[in-house]
Structure 1
Amino acid sequence: MPFRWLSLAELVGIIAVAIAALGYWDTHRERAQTDRERAAEAREKQAEAKAGALKLTFLMTGAPESSGERLRLATVHSEQVIQTQAVSFPSEIRGDAVQTTGNPRIEAGWFEDGLGKALHARGDKRHQGRMPVGVATSFIEDGQEKTDQAIYRIGYSTHPRVLRADKVEMEGLSLVRRGVTGDLQAAVNAIWTHENPPPAKP
């Protein structure tokens, strides 16, 4: 095929196609960069939202006092101020919830006798154990009253006493489940029964 010089119109057309291709590639590159920046911004916002949600999470710690006779309850976040609480024990151990106002705590005397009877019925002679408790809390945060229902676990040890029920010494508190909805007492009973099956009937 004989060689032929391109006409000016053809040359202009080729240049136009090349320019269009370069423009498309540049636009695509800018769009991809924009998409990456938007994705990074979305991830950053999601991380900030998650951090904010964690910051607002209501969580308590329990510090032993008086040789373990009492757990002093406190929130992890100082801006959350506890107003009232209802502490529910397994029904086998104590049938009614203990109400507190402005003095968040758990006392061994609230459940000591019931725990001793429950362990004796099972022939459980271990001197260490854990027991679930439900805590319904009303607290103030940012000037607003809020509520929380959670299940915690008390670590304890027992110590024999003459002519009296074993002394219970509480060691600490750990979270089992937060954001409990519905019947808190029933949830506590279910955990207790699962971990401590009732004694077999003769």
Structure 2
Amino acid sequence: MTTITEIRNAAEAKMKQSLSAFQNNLVKIRTGRASPALLDTVHVDYYGSQVPLSQVANVSLIDARTISVQPWEKGMGAKIEKAIRESDLGLNPASMGDLIRVPMPPMSEERRKEMTKLARTEGEQAKVAMRNLRRDANEGVKKLVKDKLASEDDQKRSEADIQKITDRYIAEIDKLVVAKEADIMAV
């Protein structure tokens, strides 16, 4: 038997997970600056299987506009370069001995606007996820009331609580989107 408190806590835990998933998605949206997380989506052919770049090389920053990729095995350089070039990130890596440098090309104004739209879209999707979690939690509480395991007053209170939690997470999403847009538009 679940209680109103358990329903609320489960909803909040799921909202926290959704927020962290949203933050991970935001990191992958390119800004003018270099970030090692940008290459998280790149997978490299490693002895016949596709593995994340971070499992075959050390990814770090040289400066604000250049990512360095240091393969752990000698023969992996060319494969890593190819994987980065073929990713949809629009990057052009350059090999310097064992080290691969990935310079970040400056973004055009048009590209920056596309990226801010992408950030807004991700934000909207995250908000929809929060609202769905709110709806699910409220339906769980309504079921308790219907089954006579909670009063209607409890239902009203819990719906208000769940709404406060939802509002808090949606405000956090808005804050992250605004910060990301500022980051993208900064030249």
Same fold (TM over 0.5): no
Structure with higher helix content: 2
When Rg is computed on C-alpha atoms for both structures, the one with the higher figure is 1
TM-score tier by shorter-chain length is: under 0.3
Q: TM-score, normalised by structure 1?
A: 0.26
Structure with higher strand content: 1
